A and B are shown apart, each in its own frame.
Chain A
Amino acid sequence: MTLAAHRPASAMHPHPHAPDDPQVIHIDRAAGVNRRQVLAAMAASAALANTACSPPPRLQAHPYVDLPEAGGGNLPLYYASAFVRDGFAHGVLVGTQEGRPVKIEGNPSHPSSLGATDVYAQASVLQLWDPDRSTVVRQRLERGGDTRPGQTHAPAAIASSSWSAFEAAWRERAGALSDPHGGATLRVLTGPMTSPTERALLAALLARGPRTRWHVHAPLKDVAADDGSWMAFGRVVSQVRHVDRARCVLALAADPFSDGPGAVRHAMDWSNARTALREGDAGARAPALFAAEATPGLFGARADHRVALSPARIEGLLWRVAAHWMPEITPADVGLADPAVAAFEQRLVAALRAAGPDALVIGGAGLSAEAHALVLALNQRLGAIGRTVTLIEPPDAAPGAGTLADLVDALNAGAVDTLLVLGANPAYDAPSAFDMPRALRRAKLLVHAGLHVDETALLAHWHLPLSHAYEQWGDARAHDGSATLLQPAISPLYDTRSTAELLALLAGDPLRDGHALVQRQWRAGRSGDFDAFWRASLRAGTVADSASPPLEVHAARLPPRLALQADPATTMLTALFVPDPAAHDGSFANNGWLQELPRPFTKLTWDNAALLSPATARRLGVATGDVVRLQVDTRSLEAPAWVLAQQADDVVTLPLGCGRRHAGRVGNGVGFDAGALRAGTALSASASLQKTGRHHAFAVTEHDIGQHGRELLRTVAAGGRLPPEKPRDALYPPFASPEHAWAMVIDLDACIGCNACTIACQAENNIPVVGKSQVALGRAMHWIRVDRHDLEDDGASGFQPVPCMHCEQAPCELVCPVGATVHDSEGLNVQVYNRCVGTRFCSNNCPYKVRRFNFLQYSDETTETLKAQRNPEVTVRQRGVMEKCSYCVQRVARARQHAQRTGEPLVDGDVVTACQSACPTRAIRFGDLGDAGSDVVNARASARHYAMLAELGTRPRTTYLARIRPADPA
């Protein structure tokens, strides 16, 4: 099939949120952009990059040999696909330029995305181009190797091999497997797996022999939650939450806005549910958020009412609250009241009662199985199940699959001949108690498949490079079970296989091609026009109404009440193991964008830290930066401490995913590996802590959290109105904007501080990564930073994205001696890199300090793959020039040029900035002030509208909508 056949079709279903004139198309393998051409194009662009003010040397241009279906133009093409994290699909549109994936947008028609993305989806494109990705099959030459614990094998012992070599070796093994009398055993270890195709192929593989077994390992999985649902319903269920339907949401030690595959959807639903309220209707029905959290999360920061409690006290609270709906809970179970939270509790019970079936209770990691069971029961009693929360069969359910612990036992018992580790890295992220490296060496044949040559790969006899999600055909399920199709936006950069293709090889399947495998999976048992179905599903990026059906459950059994209040005399701390906001479980450790992304609360980069509350820190005599020794029974770990006001007393939060030893050039040795303290899969433990007397230097982007009485982040009562700006008339008449007048409005009531805008901007605008030392020197380059402020009124945290304000009377412009920053006729404060000489006066004179300077040569001009990721529509900045937010001038230009070429006028929504399109809560709006009906014009008319530091008379084009204070302040 040719592109021509599909262009009109795609035009019929345009993606409203994709940047202007999207061509969301799908392609056959044949049409995949040829890698050689991509590299050639890169060579050409690389050559071009050196021509600044020098005579044109003999530059070369490389045309295509065969013009791809996608066409030779330089307009971006968007491929509906999915980014898979922890087995779950997050629908995305992969934006490609000249055949290279350069930018990820959310997929509006995908249930987990609705057009938005989180930081991981945005950073995934860098993962694709990661220069440290595994490129070839590797075989370890010496067998067995020594088994001294902690001894990792030097890469020298590893030699490049080939797929054919592996296939030969495997065939020989596979024979032994199928022999019913032979003793050959096979174990397969994977991460959570939702892909129908992969599961079918895996089943086929396991069916090859009698002594085969599947194990699933998810380092961050909250096992207690599953046990809880066993207790309650006798089966494992997965909860799909509908925050938009709720009137009262209670999160217990949970952060529904950042944890789990549904996080983006939760935030979006919550934000949409507040629309009426934001438009000034004080009585509007919006979900009231209650958070009882042990460690600060985005949900808690945005909650109307929040308390910080240790998990034990949170459970106490839960039981007391539940008792109101469950007469069978005895006072003994309820235990003592917690005076510290009495007010919160009162208000909470009232709110839940008022909400009734529209209430939603969410339990999070760190709670006991009993607590999780109680949460389910409470939801049921409230009548919430079926309304605000739907129970479904977990998309990643692995019936019959063993756990990691089982596998370790089997390994140590020497009962495993062959172990296949697919896309998992247990050697790093398994609890240290399992002494995984040692166990793994007991396998007679260890085969590892992954994106990187990681800790596990170095132990394996064979390492097989996997394709990135954007290089492969595949499928996966979303948080609500909806099936999502993956299509390649580029053919594999290296000689890699997708997991499905690899499984087909292992299972000895006749089909080997990913496209064929996925099609076979979906063709099976499907009647009617498959091509039509296939095309539609690819274009939408998801299979129509494939969401899992709701489960029918009996009345939940009440769990037994375990330990009452934790003994207050104890000096032990509760250690919470949480995913690092950047490195996640460690799989993103080698991603520079994420490592340099300021963590939402600490604004810490290139590090993780043991979080302590001020009171606890005082008790232990610890201050931020002190290196402390943590002890969990026999295991101990040294980590730098960070004192955080929002942290619960007697709780130490230990982010997982750092301290990698073989992540790559970026991730090696960043932070500490909290996994070293884990006894098992539990996400909390009881720990003791002492000072070591040593100190650790952090690289932080925001040192002062307070506002010092300056109304930068303003709040307003529901339905309230900010005092009107007194008009400042300028000394000089303003310049006219003959065509457009661009402006941005950021709704601080919607912002949850998730950082998606920051990293989307970094991807779109070729913003370099500068490294820890430079960040520590105050030279981070982010064009849009997210400031955190402690709000005076309720101690909650407010987040405020700060891009360039594009002041109409810009102080920066006045002082530039060469006119490198000036105004254009559409009101953009443009930075002309090629004119900039780098006096830096503009930055000194910028009240908002949004300008970023290339103090050294920051952008990598040598690593080919990193150059390939760059957006060709944005100049790569040289050392010594100033840069800053440009309102995505390249996107404005693209829209304008399209309008100029076609004669169609620009309409509101034609220009969507990178930050705007990524935002999960739609907090950012961008448009034309000249267009009376445009979104920004309406927003600027809002009662909550204000300009930051307006008294300086800079007349910013970027303005804000004040955050709405909770109905009755805590």
Chain B
Amino acid sequence: MSAVFSRRAVLVVRLAVLALLGLCVATVLLAVWRARAYEQLGEPITQPIPFSHKHHVGDDGIDCRYCHTTVETAAHAGLPSTAVCLGCHSQLFRDQPLLALLHRSQASGQPIAWQRVHVLPEFVYFNHGVHVAKGVACVECHGRVDQMPLAWRARPLQMQWCLDCHRDPAAHLRPTSQEFSMDAPLPPPDQAGLLARAAHLESRRRMTDCSTCHR
């Protein structure tokens, strides 16, 4: 009786095994890639009205708080009501077709359906007010909004990323005067210590408690 496997058969088997391994690796890579894709980093998001932060913040130099009114007091920074937009646009570019939707909203009382850029799962309770009060500048999490024609997500907003800051907040603080500035650099380490003390940060343990963000 002759051997079951010829030399060539063996080669085939080897290749088959290799292919199998390759498939596994590919699957893992695919999974990782998809996970990354969820973060949508740097993908401009189309809006019903192509609102340009670059123009309003960068060129016009409008303060964040002019539209995001509750950012210092509430959990949500707040989206500007139609009325706020019309505060200027009842005069400026009022006949621009781009702004038709704005006027329609005003007339019908139907809110404008903006596309969300920064989304957290419903079990995460983020509070803008506290972060602002402690000296976490807008740019820290939202990036250079003044350079975004259409807003996109600048940071992953993953738990790991939040923790990085909650474990060592001092390195991410700015003086309150610069919180809303887009280009203010992070202060040098020695000042960071002072800022942290001034902000009366909670203990590291408190800041990494589950109950700090989840309820």
Contacts and interface: CB of A to CB of B under 8 A. Distances in A.
Find out whether A and B make contact in their complex, taking CB atoms under 8 A apart as touching: yes
Interface of A: 34, 36-37, 40, 45, 48-49, 51-53, 55-56, 58-67, 71-75, 738-739, 822, 824-826, 828, 830, 832-835, 873-876, 886, 889-890, 893, 897, 900-903
Contacts of A876: 122
B211 interface: yes
A890 B130 CA distance: 15
Interface in B34-64: 34, 37-38, 40
B20 to A, nearest CB: 29
Given A56-B38, A64-B81, A875-B215, A739 B202 contact: yes
Nearest to A49: B122
Contacts of B12: none
Interface of B: 34, 37-38, 40, 69-70, 72-76, 78-84, 105-106, 109-116, 119, 121-123, 125, 127, 129-130, 133-134, 200, 202-203, 205-206, 209-212, 214-215
A874 B109 contact: no
A61 B116 contact: yes
A40 B79 CA distance: 14
Contact of A889 (B79, B106, B130, B215): B215
Interface on chain B toward A: helix, strand, loop, or mixed SS? loop
Given A36-B109, A40-B111, A738 B203 contact: yes
A72 B215 contact: no
A834 B105 contact: no
A55 to B, nearest CB: 4
Given A55-B37, A63-B82, A825-B206, A897 B130 contact: yes
Contacts of A65: 81-83, 105-106, 109-111
A546 B80 CA distance: 44
A885 to B, nearest CB: 12
A822 B83 CA distance: 46
Contacts of A73: 70, 73-76, 78
Contact of A66 (B82, B129, B134, B214): B82
Contacts of A37: 111
B210 A59 contact: no
B206 A739 contact: yes
Complex A-B, nearest 9 residue pairs according to Cβ-Cβ distance, in ascending order:
A73-B74, A63-B79, A824-B209, A738-B203, A62-B111, A56-B119, A55-B38, A834-B123, A64-B81
Interface centre among B111, B115, B116, B119 (most CB of A within 10 A): B111
Contacts of B73: 73, 75, 901
Contacts of B214: 830, 832-834, 875
A48 B82 contact: no
16 contacts: A34-B109, A36-B109, A55-B37, A60-B115, A61-B116, A62-B113, A63-B81, A67-B81, A72-B78, A73-B76, A74-B75, A738-B205, A833-B123, A893-B215, A897-B127, A900-B200
Contacts of B121: 48, 51-53, 834
A887 to B, nearest CB: 10
B206 A826 contact: yes
Contacts of A832: 210, 214
Given A72-B69, A72-B74, A901-B133, 13 more contacts: A51-B119, A59-B119, A61-B113, A61-B116, A64-B81, A71-B70, A74-B76, A738-B205, A739-B202, A824-B209, A824-B210, A889-B215, A900-B200
Contacts of B82: 63-66
Contact of A60 (B75, B116, B122): B116
A61 B79 contact: yes
B122 to A, nearest CB: 5
Nearest to B69: A72
B115 A59 contact: yes
Contacts of B70: 71-74
Given A36-B110, A63-B82, A897 B211 contact: no
A738 B206 CA distance: 8
Interface centre among A876, A893, A903 (most CB of B within 10 A): A893
B111 A64 contact: yes
Contacts of B81: 63-67, 72
A418 to B, nearest CB: 39
Nearest to B109: A65
A825 B212 CA distance: 10
Contact of B122 (A61, A67, A738, A875): A875
A55 B202 CA distance: 32
A824 B215 CA distance: 12
A162 B111 CA distance: 27
A901 B123 contact: no
Contacts of B200: 900, 903
A900 B135 CA distance: 12
A387 to B, nearest CB: 49
Nearest to A52: B121
A900 B38 contact: no
Nearest to A886: B215
A100 to B, nearest CB: 15
A875 B215 CA distance: 6
A900 B199 CA distance: 9
B214 to A, nearest CB: 5
A949 to B, nearest CB: 25
Contacts of B215: 873-875, 886, 889-890, 893
